Amino acid sequence: MKPQQISTQKFAEHYGYQASQTVFAPGRVNIIGEHTDYNDGFVMPCAINYGMAVSFSKRDDSIWRVYAIDIEQHDEFDLSQPIEPSKHKWANYVRGVVKYIQAKYPEFKQGADLAMASDVPMSSGLSSSAALEISIGKTAQLLGELPLNLTEIALIGQEAENKFVGANCGNMDQLTSALGQKDQLIMIDCRSLAITPTPVPQGYSIAIINSNVKHDLVTGEYNSRRKECEFAAQFFGVKALRDVTPEQFIERAHELQRENQLAYQRAKHVISENHRVLEAVKALKANDMQKLGQLMAESHNSMRDDFEITIPEIDYLVELAQVAISKNGGARMTGGGFGGCIVCLVPNDKVEHLRQIIAENYEKQTGIKETFHLCTACDGVHLV
């Protein structure tokens, strides 16, 4: 059953009446452009056909009752009172979004009953958290008939994650969940928020392989990478690493390296990665899948060696996938790092070969069974 069917059915069972509406927000996979979003750079993700469904109905008071179906947990809070953090992390994504919507629209105090279900694997780098934030943002917008556009809902989701949950993420995940487009990869300029859609190449599938090593970005690694990037931006005297060209970086690289080795490595990754995203758009437009595969491989190596966010299981999955896919197409880690998934752009006639090579080798080598998903690029948040 799809999450939207589950949320509708469970809402009725749990609350004893039918939900009036259901919203669906997708997760996302990032094809290239990792850890560039909070450096005001470029990314190229797509929304995927896995996501979070929220079924809801208005109440005649200011209470929100939230039922998280997948984990059998509940939360309740009052929109007429200051919204405080919950001891449950999942509930803080909900509360945080409502809190920052109220910061913009203090009159928003509409109570509701909600039931939510997701089929995005948790802690896998596919933005289960953004799908939750955007579905809640859209729900609140509909409940209060608020004049919020999708970009504003995305930025509120990011603010909630940064300030209320405590993960210092960029804006890519939320923008993709809100603004994804069917059959398109979307290149996002994370400074101007401009979007350039590029069709998923014909004859190719998007395969996501979950290493089933879970990650948790609220722990220090993600935030420390961000600080190192900020140090490097300050060193170059710019607002963000987006503003440093590869040539400028080469010119002062030794100096930065002497001052702060880690900041040098992080900057090297971000500046080269921004360049790779722009090159990837050109490669896709020219249907040059060899070039795209090369860029994805370089991106992975850079995350492994300079940004230091891959793990042996992920590196091994990428190696296996690159062997299976060969030259036309590519594979790399996707998401924040330290576990999670790899993404592959694979010719349709090689999908089964890829699945087989991974199935025969990964568990034998690591003792962990992978999960294999074939995805399609889909639209962003919408009413079901």
**Catalytic positions:** 173
Q: In whole angstroms, what is the distance from residue 272 CA to residue 125 CA?
A: 22
| Helix (H) or strand (E) run with residue 344 in it | strand 341-347
Residue 282 contacts residue 319 (beta carbons within 8 Å) = no
Q: In whole angstroms, what is the distance from residue 247 CA to residue 117 CA?
A: 48
Q: In whole angstroms, what is the distance from residue 186 CA to residue 198 CA?
A: 6
> From residue 233, how far is each of 1, 139, 148, 308, 341 by CA, in Å?
47, 38, 33, 19, 29
| Assigned token pair, 292 | 């795209």
DSSP single-letter state for residue 376: -
Which residues, 6 or more positions from 34, have their beta carbon under 8 angstroms from its beta carbon? 43, 273, 299, 303, 307, 309, 333, 334, 335, 337
The one-letter code for the residue type at 65 is R
Q: Work out the number of other CB atoms within 10 angstroms of the CB of residue 236.
A: 18
Regarding beta strands 371-375 and 204-210, do their DSSP bridges make them parallel or antiparallel, or are they unpaired? antiparallel
Q: In whole angstroms, what is the distance from residue 356 CA to residue 51 CA?
A: 26
Q: In whole angstroms, what is the distance from residue 168 CA to residue 227 CA?
A: 10
What are the backbone dihedrals phi and psi of residue 151, each rounded to the nearest 5 degrees, phi first?
-65, -40
